[in-house]
A = this chain, B = another copy of it.
Amino acid sequence: MNIYDIAAEAKTSISTVSRVLNNKGNVNPEIRKRVEQVLKKYDYKPSAIARGMVSKTMKSIAILTVDVRVTHYARTIYVIEQEFSNRGYNVTVCNTGGSIEECEKYMEILSEKQIDGIVLIGSVFNELINYPGITSKIKDIPVIVANGKVNLPNFYSVLVDDTKGIRTAVDYLYERGHRELVYIYDMETDSGWAKRQGFLEAMKLHDIPEAEKRVISSKHGLEGGLKAVDSLCSSGIGFTGVVCGEDITAIGVMKGLKKRGFSIPDQVVITGYNNSPDSLICEPELTTIDNKPELLGGLCAQLLQDVLEGKISASSLAIQPELIVRGST
């Protein structure tokens, strides 16, 4: 059943059927009624593919992320999907696993499908600009980078001030009298580096010397946090406060410290990052930095909408994270 069949049965032309389908142009009420009846009779749905062929758009966008299973990404994706589906778009989700080859494959398919826009979630994607093989494939598709920045004309950014986020955590611990702080550095992305930077800046501001020595490298995650405690304790560095770049690592650290007999927050205080649901599960509940993934998703969606509608829009927005104080400090 296509538009010709409808036109034939309604005894009119496909042009007129198209008009009533899209509510465009004037149609004699009588004919419109006749067409609408036939439309309903067959529960007719126009082919989005044929339409896309003419209009050059299928009304769909793509979200690329390392892994949807990371709650923080899922929260951002959720908002973007809701926002776009409300406007009749579909959202394709791609898990790149951080691999450049995967990313390139996705970009190729997406460009063949003439996707309307792309959202990149995670600062891992900052390095994309180093791969012309990728950027060239999507040079006429608008791209929003969530918490990242790529200097290309079709790229737009929504940034999260992670440096300030960690600075806020350090400031808070400092105010509460803690001087012997360490930072657990667990993600080698731009965002991870920015957080590390926040720690160093805050330490400098408070005249605490040798801050670099107080940065402990660790693997991300519960296990990583546990092992970080081992490194920390065997390093001989004194500490009464541990600032972490991720909640789950912080929770690992907390577990590790408790296992070694430290009492939280009496002997050691801990802060995490992300305000994840995990931070309410652990005991004590984790003081953390809320980097507002829902707001991030909302702003990305808004920005992409604006770009798609041709509105001139800020090509770069910034989100200010916020401290959430709980039992671990």
- Residues of chain A touching chain B, judged by Cβ–Cβ distance below 8 Å, are 43, 45-50, 52-53, 58, 60, 62, 67-69, 71, 74-75, 77-78, 81-82, 85, 88, 90-95, 105-106, 108-114, 136-137, 222, 248, 251, 255, 258, 277-278, 280-283
CA distance A222 to B111 in the complex (A): 43
Query: What residues on B are CB-neighbors of A95 within 8 Å?
Result: 78, 81-82, 85
Q: Decide: B52 and A49 in contact? CB cutoff 8 A.
A: yes
Q: List 26 A-B contacts (CB under 8 A).
A: A45-B108, A45-B137, A46-B112, A47-B114, A48-B109, A48-B112, A48-B113, A49-B49, A60-B113, A68-B74, A69-B71, A69-B78, A71-B74, A74-B74, A77-B93, A81-B93, A81-B94, A90-B110, A90-B113, A91-B93, A92-B92, A222-B280, A251-B281, A278-B278, A281-B281, A281-B282
CA distance A110 to B49 in the complex (A): 11
| Known pairs A85-B106, A280-B222; A47 contacts B112 (CB<8 A) | yes
Determine the main DSSP class of A at the interface with B. Answer: helix
Query: What residues on B are CB-neighbors of A69 within 8 Å?
Result: 71, 74-75, 78
CA distance A108 to B45 in the complex (A): 8
Q: Decide: A112 and B81 in contact? CB cutoff 8 A.
A: no
| Known pairs A49-B52, A49-B113, A53-B49; A78 contacts B71 (CB<8 A) | no
Taken together, the copies of this chain in the complex come to 2
Q: Choose from B74, B77, B88, B282 the contact partner of A282 (Cβ within 8 Å).
A: B282
CA distance A91 to B67 in the complex (A): 14
A221 (CB) vs chain B CBs: closest residue: B277
Q: Choose from B45, B94, B110, B258 the contact partner of A112 (Cβ within 8 Å).
A: B45
Q: How far is the CB of A77 from chain B (nearest CB, A)?
A: 6
Query: What residues on B are CB-neighbors of A251 within 8 Å?
Result: 281
A55 (CB) vs chain B CBs: closest residue: B49
CA distance A294 to B297 in the complex (A): 26
Q: Which A-B residue pairs are the 7 nearest by beta carbons? A: A48-B112, A48-B113, A93-B93, A49-B52, A69-B74, A90-B92, A281-B281
CA distance A109 to B88 in the complex (A): 8
A62 (CB) vs chain B CBs: closest residue: B90
